[in-house]
Amino acid sequence: MNEWQKLLPHDETFKCVKCGYCLPVCPTYKVLEKESASPRGRIALVKAAAEGKIDVLQHLAGPIDLCLGCRVCEVACPAEVKYGVILEGAKQAIHGAKQEKKAETPLFRWLEKLIFQWLFPYPGRLKALSGILWFYQKTGFARLVEVLGFSRFLPYHLGEFAAALPAAPFPLSFFGRKERLAPRKGKKARVAFFTGCIMDSLFFETNRKSIELLAAVGCETILPKGQTCCGALHAHAGKISQAKKLAKRNIEAFERSGADWVVTNAGGCGAMLAEYHHLLSDEPEWAKRAQAFAAKCRDLSTLLEECGPLPFKKKISCRITYQDSCHLRNVQNVISAPRKLLHSLPGAEVVELCGAGECCGSAGIYNLIQYETSMKVLDRKMEAVRETDAEILVTSNPGCLLQMRLGIRRAGLENRMKAVHLADLLHEACTGE
């Protein structure tokens, strides 16, 4: 047995009774229609690889890379198999084996290093990148690139994604943010806000609005210094030691804040934070701290719902639908709070999206790396979105939001529908902004 095989969670695979209840809920099984694209199939492959019957790189990597990691299968599983643990273990083994064999192209390795080590752990660098994007969008450069058709030469379909990006915030707005915002009415809780990476650059405004919403319902909100990326991208790519480093930095930063709750407005980051105790379970000096930290993690929607009502001023006279963030729904089990908030919007007509709990195919950087499968999943999703006839499509996670914006373009619905983050819509109803 080689070193990588040992990382595979062999014991956990025994819990799978192979009943197949995960098949009809799995988004990749639905579009690819074969067992290797299902949780049951992937678990069987992890088990086979752990037993040395198949090769980690040659046979396991492909099917595992095709998994979105949405974890909807965990909800459907009657045997409570921890699929997330199996997936993460498999990714770790594959990552290790790939590094050892130098199985990836130099460009891919360089890009990985750039993203995982030089970019995401540093919020400032992401803000700088967002500033470059602002310049690109505002100076007409973007238009030029589009007209000249340069974007199709970019790798990973980046041109298509760039066109779907929202307007980047004005770079100067990054400066001068207060580290504490006092509650606007009687104080109900002291909360520490997790700013995130993409959320605090490209969606900087959504963060600002989230904090203002918290203040509006009576939360004293602080932005702990020293916080960093949640590490979800790293963990999902099998880079567990990097993810652990980031987790420890966050735990330290938030412990110092002395807050009652750690609040996130990104479903994916929130799920990662809420599972730090799993990530650090094998480090005795951290396990307990991680446990305490994880127990404090809350999604923005649950706090707003609990401490509300929000001081709505403006009618949102639109038809609205909601797409769950997988990790908010399947990992954090936050299902009703965002919906209740939407229903409380004055003037709004809320319609449930058929299959709202199904992944949209965004899944971190899955849509870049597994473009074709991701688009199959997305196009299926957009059929259901079209059925709702909604004018506003609400999500609770930056990745989902970008994917929905792309989906709207692909479905040719730009003139009929826009995608927004829940906090943006709530804020609009509260301030009229």
Q: Is residue 223 part of the contact set for another protein (CB under 8 A)?
A: no
Element (H, E) at 352: strand 349-352
Q: Is residue 50 part of the contact set for another protein (CB under 8 A)?
A: no
Nearest distance from residue 297's CB to another protein, in Å?
23
Q: Is residue 19 part of the contact set for another protein (CB under 8 A)?
A: yes
When the beta carbons of 387 and 433 are compared against another protein, the nearer one is 387
What is residue 222's three-state secondary structure?
A: strand
Q: How many helices (H) and strands (E) does the chain have?
A: 24, 9
Q: Is residue 30 part of the contact set for another protein (CB under 8 A)?
A: no
When the beta carbons of 42 and 298 are compared against another protein, the nearer one is 42
When the beta carbons of 25 and 402 are compared against another protein, the nearer one is 25
Q: Identify the residue among 1, 2, 6, 17 touching another protein (CB under 8 A).
A: 17
Q: Could you tell me which stretch among 44-52, 89-97, 111-119, 164-172 binds another protein (CB under 8 A)? A: 44-52
Nearest distance from residue 42's CB to another protein, in Å?
8
Q: Identify the residue among 34, 178, 315, 416 touching another protein (CB under 8 A).
A: 34
Q: How many chain residues interact with another protein (CB under 8 A)?
A: 29
Of 56-115, binders to another protein (CB under 8 A) are 58-60, 62-63, 78-80
Nearest distance from residue 323's CB to another protein, in Å?
23
Q: Is residue 6 part of the contact set for another protein (CB under 8 A)?
A: no
Cβ–Cβ under 8 Å, residues 57 and 75: no
Nearest distance from residue 44's CB to another protein, in Å?
6
Q: Would you give the DSSP letter of residue 219? A: E
141 CB burial (10 A radius; 0-12, 13-18, 19+): exposed
Element (H, E) at 10: helix 10-13
Q: Is residue 20 part of the contact set for another protein (CB under 8 A)?
A: yes
Cβ–Cβ under 8 Å, residues 245 and 209: no
Q: Is residue 14 part of the contact set for another protein (CB under 8 A)?
A: yes
Q: Is residue 412 part of the contact set for another protein (CB under 8 A)?
A: no
Q: Could you tell me which stretch among 29-37, 128-136, 171-179, 326-334 binds another protein (CB under 8 A)? A: 29-37
Q: Identify the residue among 1, 6, 18, 101 touching another protein (CB under 8 A).
A: 18
When the beta carbons of 19 and 351 are compared against another protein, the nearer one is 19
Whole-number Å distance between alpha carbons of 422 and 341: 9
Q: Is residue 15 part of the contact set for another protein (CB under 8 A)?
A: yes
Closest CA to 127 of 139, 119, 137: 119
CA distances from 158 to 125, 371, 395 (A): 20, 10, 22
Cβ–Cβ under 8 Å, residues 49 and 7: no
When the beta carbons of 53 and 187 are compared against another protein, the nearer one is 53
The position carrying tokens 């602080």 is 222
What is residue 335's three-state secondary structure?
A: coil
When the beta carbons of 54 and 411 are compared against another protein, the nearer one is 54
Q: Could you tell me which stretch among 16-24, 159-167, 260-268, 421-429 binds another protein (CB under 8 A)? A: 16-24
Whole-number Å distance between alpha carbons of 186 and 51: 60
Q: In what order do the strands lie in the sheet with 349-352?
A: 349-352, 319-322, 392-395, 418-421
111 CB burial (10 A radius; 0-12, 13-18, 19+): middle
Q: Is residue 24 part of the contact set for another protein (CB under 8 A)?
A: yes
Q: Would you give the DSSP letter of residue 59? A: I
When the beta carbons of 208 and 380 are compared against another protein, the nearer one is 380
Q: Is residue 48 part of the contact set for another protein (CB under 8 A)?
A: yes
The position carrying tokens 């492909």 is 62
- List of E strands, 223-344: 261-264, 297-299, 319-322
Q: Is residue 21 part of the contact set for another protein (CB under 8 A)?
A: yes
Whole-number Å distance between alpha carbons of 369 and 372: 9
Contacts with another protein by CB under 8 A lie at 14-15, 17-21, 23-24, 33-36, 38, 40-41, 44-45, 48, 53-54, 58-60, 62-63, 78-80
